[in-house]
Amino acid sequence: MHAITHPLPARQLKGDLAVWILILSELLVFGLFFLGYAVAARRHPALFEAGQATLDTGAATLNTLALLAASAVVVMAIERLERQRTREAGRLLALAALLGSLFLVNKALELHHHLALGITLSTSLFHMFYLGLVSFHFMHVLAGVIVLSWVARRCLRDTPPELNTVWSAGAYWHMVDLVWVVLFPLVYLL
């Protein structure tokens, strides 16, 4: 038997350390917000229940499906890219960005509906949380869609970014998705 001359490769982080720190920080921001929401909802159960009753659960469910589907498509795209099937990956990423955009349009309509009713951050504690959380998350989806579109464009032109960059972009998108998966039941259902 030969001695092992090549040690196992050191465990490598998929994606950038800096982006991972960003993702963890963002989760912390949302986590604090969720915690605040939970505390406030506990203290004013009637107010929060009444507020939730005015939300459109159907539209939000559709949005949840769009984001989950987009995440799944991103996974498929990265798997294609790892096997050098760049254009295929590009098409999938474009689809993911499209699903993300669907979320944005749907959410914009929902927000417009509420704002047209004269609801502001000052309307009630529930509405402060609802508008705050939803619009803050909206900005993140928007950023995610821009990132996905950029990666998709590069792939479709056969000049993909480094795999590490794509992993980072994918991780960011999954974070956006993950936050919604907590936000949706917390604000709309529970």
Token pair for 190: 């529970």
Among 47, 62, 132, 178, which residue interacts with other proteins (rule: CB under 8 A)?
132
Whichever of 76 and 150 has its CB closer to other proteins, that residue is 150
| 129 binding other proteins? (CB under 8 A) | yes
Q: How far is the CB of 185 from other proteins (least distance, A)?
A: 20
| 13 binding other proteins? (CB under 8 A) | no
Whether residue 99 contacts residue 69, with contact meaning beta carbons closer than 8 Å, is answered with yes
Binding mask 38-57 for other proteins (x = CB under 8 A): --x-----------------
| 115 binding other proteins? (CB under 8 A) | no
Whichever of 33 and 184 has its CB closer to other proteins, that residue is 33
**Rounded (10°) angle between helices 163-183 and 125-156:** 150
Label residue 15 left, alpha or beta by phi (over 0 means left) and psi (-120 to 50 means alpha): left
Q: How far is the CB of 48 from other proteins (least distance, A)?
A: 14
Among 5, 12, 84, 122, which residue interacts with other proteins (rule: CB under 8 A)?
122
Q: Is the dihedral of CA 69, 132, 33, 170 positive or negative?
A: positive
Q: How far is the CB of 90 from other proteins (least distance, A)?
A: 23
| 1 binding other proteins? (CB under 8 A) | no
Which contiguous run of DSSP H or E holds residue 165? helix 163-183
Q: How far is the CB of 5 from other proteins (least distance, A)?
A: 27
- 173 contacts: CB under 8 Å, gap ≥ 6: 70, 71, 74, 96, 100, 144, 147, 148
Whichever of 26 and 110 has its CB closer to other proteins, that residue is 26
Whether residue 125 contacts residue 40, with contact meaning beta carbons closer than 8 Å, is answered with yes
Using CA atoms in the order 14, 18, 24, 26, what is the torsion angle rounded to 10 degrees?
Answer: -130
The residue ranges that bind other proteins (CB under 8 A) are 16-19, 21-22, 25-26, 28-29, 32-33, 36, 40, 121-122, 125, 128-129, 132
